[in-house]
Amino acid sequence: MTTLVTGATGKVGRHVVAELRAAGEDVRAISRSPEAPGLPDDLRVYRADLAHPGSLLEALAGVERLYLYPYAPTADEVVKLARESGVRRVVVLSSRAVSLGTDTDRHLPVEQAVEASGLEYAFIRPNDFAANKTDLWGPMIREDRTVRFPDPDEISNPVHERDIAAVAAAALLADGAPPAVHEVTGPEILTQRRQAELIGEAIGVPVRFEPTPPEETLRLLTAQGGWVAQMAPFLLGLAPYSEGEPIPGFSPEELREIWKPRSTVLDVTGRPPRSFLEWAREHRADFL
């Protein structure tokens, strides 16, 4: 069978490609930037864009499995094209925010389009991406070894992108399996301060955490541009995740439950999830 990986040059997609190829699968990929580094030279990479569903037609020909990066505006059309092209199984990179009810317009519409299609499917809902720290904190740490964020005691459960990809690849290969939702977490709850300390341990230089008011942090993140600027108001608790929804408010007990480690990675892949320190060591160059 042939699997098509969308968003193949992204943080997770490139590892989905690697997992599938390591399993001996026939893989092809699409990306808006096929020349981006990180993909094997012998991989069939098609230039296509989920924002323009028709651009996927050539890549979809002969494909039975689809790893779908979430792009809500065209999800219905993309899924329709996939079904008409012969795709039988779809695995969606989604978000734990769907489970929490705080996502109604980003990942949820993609899940709904796939669920309504009649195709086999699995939804991958990761917790906090460890990889987001390279964009959020990388510029600050590279500048003066200081993280400027509001609350050093705020907790999360960062998950390694390779673990997300491993669960996604296993779900793609589970032909005939019933619909599934995989909530993917890291192995431990960590405060923001502790995450900064572990990055410092990984790079061999102490990283200081400087509590900074949300408005000042927003200014710093907005200046970085890209997805960081777009998502900064939500990450700082100044705006909801989905437009038109209320800003979520969770008690300390609810937050501990939200970030509680799940056994998903071990259950699906047969090995435990990677630690945040292991992730930081792999990404050492991003903070130097």
**What is the SS3 assignment for 198-214?**
HHHHHHCCCCEEEECCH
Average pLDDT taken over every residue of the chain:
96
DSSP assignments along the chain, one per residue: -EEEESSTTSTTHHHHHHHHHHTT-EEEEEES-TTSSSS-TTSEEEE--TTSGGGGHHHHTT--EEEE---GGGHHHHHHHHHHHT--EEEEE--HHHHHT--SSSSHHHHHHHHTTT-EEEEEEESSBTTHHHHHTHHHHHHHSEEEES-TT-EE--B-HHHHHHHHHHHHT-TTPPPEEEEE--S--EEHHHHHHHHHHHHTS--EEEE--HHHHHHHHHHH-HHHHHHHHHHTTSS-SSTTSPPP---HHHHHHHT---SHHHHHHSSPPPPHHHHHHHTGGGG-
pLDDT, position 63: 98
pLDDT, position 200: 98
pLDDT, position 1: 92
Mean pLDDT on 84-106:
96
pLDDT digits (tens, 9 = 90+) for 169-192: 999 999 999 999 999 999 999 999
Beta strands 190-191; 155-156: pairing state = antiparallel
pLDDT digits (tens, 9 = 90+) for 240-266: 988 888 888 889 999 999 999 999 999
Within 10 Å of residue 32's Cβ, how many Cβ atoms? 14
Q: What is the percentage of the chain residues whose pLDDT exceeds 70?
A: 100
Instruction: Sort 223 into a burial class: Cβ within 10 Å, 0-12 / 13-18 / 19+.
Output: exposed
Determine contact, residues 182/125, Cβ cutoff 8 Å: yes
pTM as predicted: 0.96
Cα dihedral sign, 268-136-13-281:
negative
pLDDT, position 34: 74
38 φ/ψ sector (left φ>0, alpha ψ -120 to 50, else beta): left
Mean pLDDT on 148-173:
97
| Residue written as token pair 């734990």 | 96
Mean pLDDT on 53-62:
97
pLDDT digits (tens, 9 = 90+) for 132-142: 999 999 999 99
Query: Is residue 33 predicted with pLDDT exceeding 90?
Result: no
Residue 104's pLDDT band, with cuts at 50, 70 and 90, is: very high
Q: Tell which wins on pLDDT, 237 or 38.
A: 237
Query: Is residue 129 predicted with pLDDT exceeding 90?
Result: yes
pLDDT, position 229: 95
pLDDT digits (tens, 9 = 90+) for 207-235: 999 999 999 999 999 999 999 999 999 99
